[in-house]
Amino acid sequence: MILWIAFAVVAAAAVAVLARPLLAEQHGVTASAQEADLAVYRDQLAEIDADRDRGLIDSAEAESARTELARRLLQRSEQSDDAAQAAASLPKSLSPATIAYATALAIPVLSIAIYLALGSPSMPGMPQSARLHHSPAQAGIDELVAKVEAQLRETPEDGRGWDAIAPVYLRLQRFGDASNAFARAIRLLGETPKRLRGFAESTVLANNGIVVEPARLAYQQLLTKEPGDHEARFWLAMADEQEGKLDAAEKGYRSVLTDAPEDAPWKSVVEARIATIAAQRSTTEATGNSQSGSKQAAGGQSTANADAGTKPSPPETSGAKPPGPTSADIAAARELSKDDQQAFINAMVERLAGKLDKNPDDFEGWLRLVRAYSVLGRKDDAGRALVSARKNAEGNSERNARLDALAAELGLGI
Amino acid sequence: MIVEFGHFALVLAVVVALFQTAVPLWGTLSREPRLMETAKPAAILQLVLFLVAFLALTHAYVTSDFSVANVAANSHSTKPLIYRISGVWGNHEGSMLLWVLILATFGAAVAIFGNNLPLSLRANVLSVQASIALAFGIFMLATSNPFLRLDDVPIDGRGLNPILQDPALAFHPPFLYAGYVGFSIAFSFAIAALIDGRIDAAWARWVRPWTLAAWMCLTLGIAMGSWWAYYELGWGGWWFWDPVENASFMPWLAGTALLHSALVMEKRETLKVWTILLAILTFSLSLMGTFLVRSGVLTSVHAFAVDPERGVAILAIMTIFVGGGLTLFALRAGELRHGGLFAPVSREGALVLNNVLLTTATATVFVGTLYPLLLEGLTGAKISVGPPYFNLTFVPLMVPLLIALPFGPFMPWKRGDIVAVSQRLILAAVLALVAMVATMALAQRGPWLAPIMMAVGVYVMAGSVQELTYRAKIGSAGRDEILRRLRNLPRSIYGTTLAHFGVGMMVVGIVATSAYQTEKVLVLKPGDTAEVAGYTLTFKGVAPHKGPNYREQVGTIEVMRDATPITTLHPSKRIYDSPPQPTSEAGIHASWRGDLYTVLGDAQEEDGGYAFRFYFNPLVRLIWLGALVMFFAGGISLSDRRLRVGAPKRTSRADTPAGAVAAE
């Protein structure tokens, strides 16, 4: 309500200010353009005299300037403004008073109409300081965090504050903040397994899963405090793996597995890591073999590089068809046992499907996916992929023709 | 509540601008003084309302009211107060509000100080001025409303780009806008004259102080931007011929030309048509600057094409005002009477030369700025036009301008004697030669053109001072006579001398820095030393430090010269909390000789060393000092009675001339 009264007062004041001259009595004389011009010339004449007195111009210059001005003065006093005015004059169709009343109506109506369309009159202002003084019961987690943050800015040496907020950050997935808060809590209050664990975990997560040096040190420290801690050992093994120390990593993973509880849900994760290491090993061996084995392939590659100019092509995903197995993938698949091979191919196909999900415009990718599903014997999936491919090729007769041909070739009856 | 009140004030201000556009103009067309009289209260009211809106938005920023979308998107509660305030115009919506606020300020100033203007001229000027405010007001309400609210109020804002959190940049936009927008007054006066079909005798007198004030603000604004780029971006450069910079530089060049041609128009009632055209062009370039910076067309023509709403709106505004102005000019310019004649060699001739060279220079910058955009728009090819283009086009235009510059003030009106003036400038030429030889002896390297350009800079400085000594008859008159003359000289002459001196300082600074900069990139371990331009730098180490909303690694470098400690520099690398963005802060030691400029680079993993970049920029301060001198010169000139008064007040006509003589 107060807001609307304020609006009314301001609008009324505006109208009053604007309408006043319109409702005033017609005042007799207004400065005519001619008079103003003449006044300027007289002023300039005086200036010339002043300049001459100061010695800025000599008397000959002053004299010629005076003559010129005098000529302008005469000219101007002979001309009247009326000719120009009469030509431009419009009929006075509306009296100023009418305009004043129209203004008094139009200004409030127009401004309030526009405001109503754009404004949020029922919304109160919400300065942050006021919002943070709610009772905590009403406040959401965000506000509580903000409150603690504000407090910690005042007293950054308050370790308990950092200790309290750090796990909250971690849960809110603000990993960088969590890592920082755990680090401060450790510095101010000392190391405990809980803080070390929190610090290491949030640091790894903040770095997209890379076990960076501070996190590795923290896990090592955690192991001295809680020998045998599975999590710490797992991540230390992961650190080894990321550094390329595959043997050490595998040893670490296996040691985690040996004394893992029977029903530990994370066992499969560890096993997957071991499998990956095996795959990685065979990959390196395979690429080693193929490089020494086939000179022709290497020769072909170098020509391609030459075509591309001096820029070295990126190692894996180079080439025109991004989704699809790379040569390293295929080499890896060759080295695997039959069952593993099947799993590997399945994973590859899933990856391709995932990529097409994100980038459905890749027509060649769809062709490969349909073919891959049908080779794997997954006819239903192949059919579905074909439908998706058709949907994406809508309106393109050339592509539709190719899809038809493919469907006929593979015996997919759609 | 305050936010909504500000919003309503903004809406009301736009409606008042509509009134102010229509009613006074109707008044002049129908010869109804009461309608014309409304222009003054409307202009003041419009200023008050825009100011209320601006203060309301500032209040929202200061109290971190994140229910306002604009505040949530551009502020953060941990920002220091000064950057919460400068954040108001550190974003598109807020800066448009500042833009119209300054526009309204200039309009209100004309209303308040323009009591001596003929009524119809004042009505027309304020009407045109309000039409600009109306266009931008509608633009704001439709596409860039700073007062829109959020239903889902975030707990904290997204923060201001850290590189914008800097004192020089905080106050760079207000000055820049005051410059841009100040030229709107010249534009409004030009359009008003065209509407009336005649130019009042005092037209140039009224236009000049406004143009001068706008020019001063623009000079300072550009200098601040360049100064900021110099110490914040950490490249040691001070001008990059970047389109954003050019966008402010073009109105400056045209405005400088306008300032000079208005002089001719005032004194000789000639060059009228040209001055009017220049006034329209200068403001058009200001509008174009706003368009380039605000539409996003510079980042990429394609980004503009994807989200064209704002850009197209500003383009439409620009087309209406530029196109309308030029059309009106084409229709009416023929009716304007031409003025006095003059010989080619004369003060007028010198000022015409100034105008020709400055407008040509503006055109080269215009081409260099817009050609890449046009090419990208048409063919999709991305090219960048950089310093080589401008060195080849802009610089050659500046050389004759600078050489002719000291001649101008010596020339008498109507007809002059170039030989006599040359003789007066012999001393300046001799000093310039000395400077050239000294440069060659000191530097012994660098491009062959550099000593010559140094000589040109010194010649401009000396030539400007010589004008003063000549007018005061220093060397030929007695001491009392000289003092009397110095006291009696009008302030506008001091203004001219100082401004031209500032140009010379700038030239010397630019040439010295460009030609004789020393650069060293190297890795230092704590305890290592390096030699740069006669300084011995010892790297002491790096320590962490925490600011209000950033963390930083601060390097410590001890600077010695001839075995005496000079200073300790602290270049640093900062990471801001929100948004987390790194910036580098240069450590700069300033002296008259030049700046020692140090930048801390990345830590070298293997050996604990840090990469450093060291520059020595000789005489670089002269660039900004020159700009500052030009700014103050404008102020001195503005305080000159003759410029300030504009036209005599009819009530005090009798005592004005006498008073003027007595006072000065």
Interatomic CA distance for residues B435 and B376, integer angstroms:
45
Q: With 90 as the cut, is the pLDDT of residue B17 above it?
A: yes
Same domain, A6 and A105: yes
Q: At which residue do the structure tokens 């005086």 appear?
A: A46
Same domain, A155 and A100: no
Q: Which residues of B touch A47 (CB under 8 A)?
A: 642, 657, 660
Of A14, A40, A89, the CB nearest to B30: A89
Q: Which residues of B touch A2 (CB under 8 A)?
A: 1
Residue that terminates a domain, selected from A68, A90, A109: A109
* Chain-chain contact of A50 with B38 (C-beta, under 8 angstroms): no
Question: In this structure, is residue A250 part of a structural domain?
Answer: no
Q: Please state the rounded mean pLDDT for residues B324-335.
A: 87
Report which DSSP code applies to A266. Answer: T
Q: What is the pLDDT of residues A227-243, one digit of tens each?
A: 888 888 888 888 888 88
Residue A348: its pLDDT value, please?
74
Nearest CA-CA partner of B117 in A14, A198, A31: A31
Residue A324: its pLDDT value, please?
40
Same domain, A101 and A175: no
Q: Which residues of A touch B490 (CB under 8 A)?
A: 51, 54, 56
Tokens in use for B204? 């140039």
A399, amino acid identity? R
**Are the C-beta atoms of A260 and A231 separated by less than 8 Å?**
no
Interface probe, candidates B19, B140, B267, B347, chain A, greatest A C-beta count within 10 A? B19
- CA–CA min distance A389, chain B (Å): 28
Of A47, A99, A156, the CB nearest to B35: A99
* Chain-chain contact of A90 with B65 (C-beta, under 8 angstroms): no
Interface probe, candidates B70, B155, B158, chain A, greatest A C-beta count within 10 A? B155
Residue that terminates a domain, selected from A182, A199, A226: A226
Q: Which among A27-31, A356-360, B219-223 has the top mean pLDDT?
A: B219-223
Residue that terminates a domain, selected from A209, A226, A243: A226
Same domain, A387 and A336: yes
Question: In this structure, is residue A273 part of a structural domain?
Answer: no
Q: Percentage of chain B with pLDDT > 70?
A: 93
The more confident residue out of A409 and B59 is: B59
Q: Distance of CA A232 to CAs A3, A198, A229, A254, A270, Å? A: 61, 11, 6, 14, 13
Question: In this structure, is residue A330 part of a structural domain?
Answer: yes
Residue B263: its pLDDT value, please?
85
Question: In this structure, is residue A116 part of a structural domain?
Answer: no
User: What CATH number has the domain bearing residue A147?
Assistant: 1.25.40.10
Interatomic CA distance for residues A349 and A344, integer angstroms:
9
Q: At which residue do the structure tokens 């048409």 appear?
A: B378
Q: What Rg, from alpha-carbon coordinates, does chain A have? A: 42
Interface probe, candidates B8, B199, B332, B655, chain A, greatest A C-beta count within 10 A? B8
Residue A27: its pLDDT value, please?
57
Question: In this structure, is residue A297 part of a structural domain?
Answer: no
Q: What is the pLDDT of residues B595-617, one digit of tens each?
A: 899 988 888 766 778 888 899 99
Neighbours of A407 (CB within 10 A): 19
Q: Which residues of B touch A96 (CB under 8 A)?
A: 32, 34-35
* Chain-chain contact of A56 with B489 (C-beta, under 8 angstroms): yes
* Chain-chain contact of A153 with B32 (C-beta, under 8 angstroms): no
- Lowest mean pLDDT of A11-20, A75-84, B410-419, name the range: A75-84
- Lowest mean pLDDT of A71-80, A102-111, A312-321, name the range: A312-321
Q: Which residues of A touch B144 (CB under 8 A)?
A: none
Q: With 90 as the cut, is the pLDDT of residue B97 above it?
A: yes
Q: Which residues of B touch A115 (CB under 8 A)?
A: 7-8, 11
Helix (H, G, I), strand (E, B) or coil at B377: helix
Tokens in use for A261? 């509880």
Task: Compute φ and ψ for B338, nearest 5 degrees.
Answer: -90, 160
Question: In this structure, is residue A253 part of a structural domain?
Answer: no
- CA–CA min distance B37, chain A (Å): 6
Residue B628: its pLDDT value, please?
95
Q: With 60 as the cut, is the pLDDT of residue B653 above it?
A: no
- CA–CA min distance A354, chain B (Å): 28
* Chain-chain contact of B198 with A24 (C-beta, under 8 angstroms): no
- CA–CA min distance B365, chain A (Å): 36
Of B9, B196, B201, the CB nearest to A37: B201
Residue B632: its pLDDT value, please?
95
Q: Please state the rounded mean pLDDT for residues B293-314.
A: 69
Q: Which residues of A touch B340 (CB under 8 A)?
A: 68
Q: With 60 as the cut, is the pLDDT of residue A309 above it?
A: no
Q: Which residues of A touch B72 (CB under 8 A)?
A: none
- Lowest mean pLDDT of A128-137, A153-162, B66-75, B96-105, name the range: A128-137
Q: With 90 as the cut, is the pLDDT of residue B58 above it?
A: yes
* Chain-chain contact of B67 with A99 (C-beta, under 8 angstroms): no
Would you give the distance in Å from CA B321 to the centre of its chain? 21
Q: Which residues touch B214 (CB under 8 Å, ≥6 apart)?
A: B178, B179, B180, B181, B182, B183, B185, B186, B255
Domain tally, chain A: 3
Q: Which residues of A touch B122 (CB under 8 A)?
A: none
Q: Confidence class of residue B284 from pLDDT cuts 50, 70 and 90?
A: very high
Q: Please state the rounded mean pLDDT for residues B275-285.
A: 93
Interface probe, candidates B20, B26, B32, B656, chain A, greatest A C-beta count within 10 A? B32
Same domain, A348 and A393: yes
Residue B502: its pLDDT value, please?
95
Nearest CA-CA partner of B650 in A40, A199, A367: A40
* Chain-chain contact of B60 with A41 (C-beta, under 8 angstroms): no
User: What CATH number has the domain bearing residue A394?
Assistant: 1.25.40
Question: In this structure, is residue A262 part of a structural domain?
Answer: no
Interface probe, candidates A99, A105, A145, A147, chain B, greatest B C-beta count within 10 A? A99
Residue A30: its pLDDT value, please?
53
Interface probe, candidates B2, B4, B122, chain A, greatest A C-beta count within 10 A? B4
Q: With 60 as the cut, is the pLDDT of residue B554 above it?
A: yes
Q: Which among A400-409, B30-39, B54-63 has the top mean pLDDT?
A: B54-63
Interatomic CA distance for residues B387 and B368, integer angstroms:
10
Q: Percentage of chain A with pLDDT > 70?
A: 75
Residue A302: its pLDDT value, please?
38
Q: Which residues of B touch A118 (CB under 8 A)?
A: 7, 11, 141, 145, 147-148
Bridge partners, residue B588, by sequence = B597
The more confident residue out of B64 and B499 is: B499
Mean of the per-residue pLDDT values of chain B: 85
Q: Confidence class of residue B178 from pLDDT cuts 50, 70 and 90?
A: very high
Q: With 90 as the cut, is the pLDDT of residue B55 above it?
A: yes
Residue of A nearest to B148 (CA): A119
Same domain, A17 and A96: yes
Interatomic CA distance for residues A237 and A245, integer angstroms:
9
- CA–CA min distance A79, chain B (Å): 12
Alpha carbons within 13 angstroms on the beta-carbon side of residue A18 total: 33
Interatomic CA distance for residues A32 and A77, integer angstroms:
12
Residue of B nearest to A40 (CA): B647
Interface probe, candidates A81, A92, A114, chain B, greatest B C-beta count within 10 A? A114
Interatomic CA distance for residues B14 and B83, integer angstroms:
28
Same domain, A169 and A213: yes
Of A39, A65, A118, the CB nearest to B141: A118
Report which DSSP code applies to B414. Answer: S
> What is B572-635 written as a DSSP string?
EEEEESSS--EEEE-EEEE-SSEEEEEEEEEEPTTTS-EEEEEEEEETTHHHHHHHHHHHHHHH
The more confident residue out of A341 and B480 is: B480
- Lowest mean pLDDT of A215-219, A289-293, A402-406, B145-149, name the range: A289-293
Nearest CA-CA partner of B249 in B208, B211, B282: B282
- Lowest mean pLDDT of A342-346, B440-444, B533-537, name the range: A342-346
* Chain-chain contact of B648 with A72 (C-beta, under 8 angstroms): no
Q: Which among A150-159, B186-195, B606-615 has the top mean pLDDT?
A: B186-195
Q: Which residues of B touch A31 (CB under 8 A)?
A: 116-119, 650
Q: Predicted ipTM?
A: 0.82
H or E element in which residue B3 lies: helix B2-29
Q: Confidence class of residue A368 from pLDDT cuts 50, 70 and 90?
A: confident
H or E element in which residue B298 lies: none
Q: What is the pLDDT of residues B119-131, one digit of tens each?
A: 888 899 999 999 9
Report which DSSP code applies to B320. Answer: I
Q: Confidence class of residue B257 from pLDDT cuts 50, 70 and 90?
A: very high
Of A14, A30, A129, the CB nearest to B12: A14
- CA–CA min distance A121, chain B (Å): 6
* Chain-chain contact of A127 with B78 (C-beta, under 8 angstroms): no
Cβ-based contacts under 8 A for chains A and B? 219
Q: With 80 as the cut, is the pLDDT of residue B30 above it?
A: yes
Task: Compute φ and ψ for B64, nearest 5 degrees.
Answer: 55, 55
Q: Confidence class of residue A140 from pLDDT cuts 50, 70 and 90?
A: low
* Chain-chain contact of B196 with A84 (C-beta, under 8 angstroms): yes
Q: Which residues of A touch B33 (CB under 8 A)?
A: 26-27, 30
Q: With 90 as the cut, is the pLDDT of residue B561 above it?
A: no
Residue B654: its pLDDT value, please?
36
Same domain, A329 and A403: yes
Question: In this structure, is residue A333 part of a structural domain?
Answer: yes
Q: Which residues of A touch B642 (CB under 8 A)?
A: 47
Give the structural domain span for A171.
Answer: 141-226
Q: With 90 as the cut, is the pLDDT of residue A390 above it?
A: no
- CA–CA min distance A39, chain B (Å): 6
Residue of B nearest to A76 (CA): B201
Residue of A nearest to B486 (CA): A54
Q: Percentage of chain B with pLDDT > 90?
A: 35
Q: Please state the rounded mean pLDDT for residues B419-439.
A: 89
Same domain, A19 and A66: yes
* Chain-chain contact of A118 with B60 (C-beta, under 8 angstroms): no
Q: At which residue do the structure tokens 């037209």 appear?
A: B203
Q: What is the pLDDT of residues B372-401, one digit of tens each?
A: 888 877 887 777 777 888 888 898 899 999
Residue of A nearest to B120 (CA): A33
Q: Please state the rounded mean pLDDT for residues A80-91.
A: 52
Q: Which among B99-113, B162-176, B259-273, B460-474 has the top mean pLDDT?
A: B99-113
